[in-house]
Amino acid sequence: MAAPLLFLTLLAITCSVAWASDPSPLQDFCVADPNSPVKVNGLVCKDPKLVEAKDFFGSGLNVAAQITNPVGSQVTPVNVVQIPGLNTLGISLARIDFAPWGINAPHTHPRASEILTVLEGTLLVGFVTSNPENRLITKTLNKGDVFVFPVGLIHFQQNIGYGPAVALAALSSQNPGVVTIANAVFGSKPDISTDILAKAFQTDPAIIANIQAKF
């Protein structure tokens, strides 16, 4: 391989690794300006002279969320939407409240790894490796235990106790995103064809239509 071509190949590989997560800040901070009409990969910086302490502040994570959904959990996010000062810093947080036997349904974060700490209760947690192995890695966590979910992999949590449970999740992106598998597959707008899903799940189209109706 010619030297210039080799250099460009190595540069492309290096850049692909360097750009695999949130971009690093090039100044002390870049507080998000959600009202800016300019569209960028992320959010436009607010004028530094107008930045205040409230741009870096959030509250309320001591308050348990009301759980009214059928899965039995509620996520309270703390990302760049709630704290504009997180813009370009590559971190965010979430509190997860669980009803007894509630689940945080299988989902992925396309832009972040996650480290979860159990604050109260007992959780069964796990993630599934990518194709072709699809290996389930799972563990029971108690108060004070910590578990890591690698970026992009399907993962879940279940409260296996008889009382409420609480966990705190830290994520490696200001905007990690979330794709809940059941919602995405069965609740897409418009619907994925029942024939496609029936073949994928090796079941009858009528069963797929019944599931889609729940979403």
Tokens of residue 75, six digits: 């996520």
Binding residue per annotation — 109? yes
Q: What is the dihedral of CA 115, 119, 121, 127, to 10 degrees?
A: 0
How much is the CA Rg of the chain, to the nearest whole Å? 21
CB atoms within 10 A of CB 19: 10
Is 104 annotated as contributing to ligand binding? yes
Q: How far apart are CA 20 and CA 14, in angstroms?
A: 10
107 is in an annotated binding site: yes
3-state DSSP assignment of residue 68: coil
Kindly provide the b/e burial profile for residues 81-91, where b requires at least 16 CB atoms within 10 angstroms of the residue's own CB: eebbbbbbbbb
Give the pair of three-digit tokens for residue 101.
């036997």
Q: Which residues participate in the annotated binding site for Mn(2+)?
A: 107, 109, 114, 155
Q: Which residues participate in the annotated binding site?
A: 104, 107, 109, 114, 155
Q: Which residues participate in the annotated binding site for oxalate?
A: 104, 109, 114
